[in-house]
Amino acid sequence: MKKRRSVILSLLFSVLLQLLSTAVFASGTDTLPDTDSIPALSYAAGDSAPDVSAASAILMTEDGDVLWERAADTRRKPASTTKIMTALTVLRSETELDTCVKIPAAAVGVEGSSVYLYEGEELTLRHLLYAMLMESANDAAAAIAVSVGGSVADFADRMNETAVSLGLENTHFENPHGLDNENHYTTARELALMTQAAMKYDEFREMVSTYKMEIPLKGNEGIRLLVNHNRLLKSLDGCIGVKTGYTKASGRCLVSACTRDGVTLICVTLNAPDDWNDHTALYDWGFAQVERVTLSEVGEQYAVLPVVGAVTDAADGDAMAAVRNEEGLSVVLSRTGQDISKRVLLPRFLYAPVTAGDIVGYVVYYNGKTEIGRLALYASESVELYKKTTIWETIKAILHLKI
């Protein structure tokens, strides 16, 4: 009978201990919110949004939150803004950019903008990308396509595969340069998403933001001076590119990105007669709507937790472990209507041994009811196991914590 009572008490104690150890310092819930259904932030354009000349346009944050749009899902000819996807496809292929490319006959004399490549001359893939993105060189785009994809048609297939991988449903490419084709189209929204993906590559950012540079001409025979077609680089505060485009069928096309006060916005206008002013006006309006908000600094401490069963020199017998984040967190939010809160999800105590760097909980940030970010919380120090404790020793330790 005594043995059975002892077993029952042990089981009850185990259940109690498990419940206590999973309690959290948060009101309302003891489980992490569902991360698969976090809604995107949204911003209302309001009466103050500028009028623009573009038939289709979009302004969004680098994180993908749309601030303003017009006919953003209408399929249109992208002209040379196509070259954003050409560059992205190359970068995603992880082809070495300093690879030497012998210019093929298929890249010589291509219609439209050109750096006048010669068949058989050699340039690096990096040089060709600069020529394509700065001078909008169609011959450089063709040389890139043949070098990386084997042919213009096969490389276009790769571009379409990249589009599918990005979840783009209204985009299709027939070539790497953007010359008009009935089956060559995209939308303002999907061009912005391509740009968002390309901007993750430092090489792309550097190329589209370079205003002037030189590349070789037929080996050592001379140099080609490249000058970026994007005049916003000189006229717009914080501009970092991205790509111009024009054909008679497409009208003026422009994709740009701009950074101010830690916020990066992406703007796309298609068939826009006054595109330079459209972008300038949209950025001035957009940056007035949003700001970067720091939610947590790097290494911020969130708690100091007792550690049960640990080596300690403390007079009261309790070992303690500080809990910190290892990454800072900041987000872009609307300047109005902010209602920021956080929920710290941690156990009430830890079991020894504890290793520095162990994830022991999370902090989740909200704007109203929308989750806007989360950080893992780590033990900042190691705590060694003292010895195996008996049930009664563990009970005494828990009671000493005054739970």
Task: Quote the Cα angle for 368-374-377, to 5°.
Answer: 135
Q: What is the mean pLDDT of residues 150-155?
A: 97
Mark whether 136 is an active-site residue.
yes
Superfamily in which the 297-400 domain is placed by CATH: D-Ala-D-Ala carboxypeptidase, C-terminal domain (2.60.410.10)
pLDDT band at 219 (very low <50, low <70, confident <90, very high): confident
59: nearest Cα among 367, 368, 288, 369: 288
> Per-residue pLDDT for 26 more than 60?
no
d(CA 79, CA 70): 19
Model pLDDT, residue 275? 97
Residues found in the chain: 403
Active-site residue 83, yes or no? yes
Residue 11 has pLDDT above 70, yes or no: no
Give the mean model confidence (pLDDT) for residues 339-347. Answer: 96
Please pick, among 56, 77, 80, 114, the residue that the annotation labels catalytic.
Answer: 80
Reply yes or no on whether the pLDDT at 297 is more than 90: yes
| Residues 229-273: tens digit of each pLDDT | 999 999 999 999 999 999 999 999 999 999 999 999 999 999 999
Give 217-226 contacts, CB < 8 A, sequence gap 24+.
Answer: 217/121, 218/118, 218/121, 219/121, 219/122, 224/115, 224/131, 226/115, 226/130, 226/131, 226/134, 226/135
Higher pLDDT, 105 or 389: 105
Residue % of the chain over a pLDDT of 90: 77
Task: Report whether the peptide linkage leading into residue 353 is cis, meaning its omega lies within 30 degrees of zero.
Answer: yes
> Does the pLDDT at position 28 exceed 60?
no
- Give the CA radius of gyration of the chain: 29
DSSP-derived secondary structure for 292-353: EEEEE-TT-EEEEEEEETB----TTS-EEEEEE-SS-EEEEEESSS--EEEEEE--S-EESP
Give me the residue spans of the domains in the chain.
56-290, 297-400
pTM: 0.81
Short-list 236, 224, 193, CA closest to 84: 193
Region 19-27 average pLDDT: 40
Give the pLDDT confidence score for residue 288 in this predicted structure: 96
Lowest mean pLDDT among 19-23, 93-97, 329-333, 339-343: 19-23
Stretch among 7-21, 247-261, 307-321 having the lowest mean pLDDT: 7-21
Amino acid at 77: K
CATH fold for the domain made of 56-290:
Beta-lactamase (3.40.710)
Q: Does 80 qualify as catalytic in the annotation? A: yes
pLDDT of residue 29: 27
Q: How confident is the model at residue 402 (pLDDT cuts 50, 70, 90)?
A: very low
Contact 340, 367 (CB under 8 A): yes
Q: Residues 56, 77, 83, 296: which is the catalytic one?
A: 83
Backbone angles phi, psi at 157, to 5 degrees: -60, -40
Q: Which of 56, 113, 114, 136 is catalytic?
A: 136
